[in-house]
Amino acid sequence: MPAAVCQERALRDITTDSNHLIFDREVRYADYGRILLDQPTSRFLV
């Protein structure tokens, strides 16, 4: 496999993982804010 293809795949994987991490944190912080305001959450915090 050419090196350029490997680099593109690695960059795509890193970008995808970072987007998932950011979205997960956003959801957790939103749920934490709901808990502080005594509102129902969308999922359980562990």
**Integer CA distances (angstroms), 17 to 21, 22, 41, in order:** 6, 9, 24
Q: What is the mean pLDDT of the chain?
A: 87
pTM given for the model: 0.59
What pLDDT score does 36 carry?
A: 93
Does 45 have pLDDT greater than 80? no
Q: Are 8 and 19 a contacting pair, CB within 8 Å?
A: no
The domain total for the chain is 1
Give the domain extent around 4: 1-46
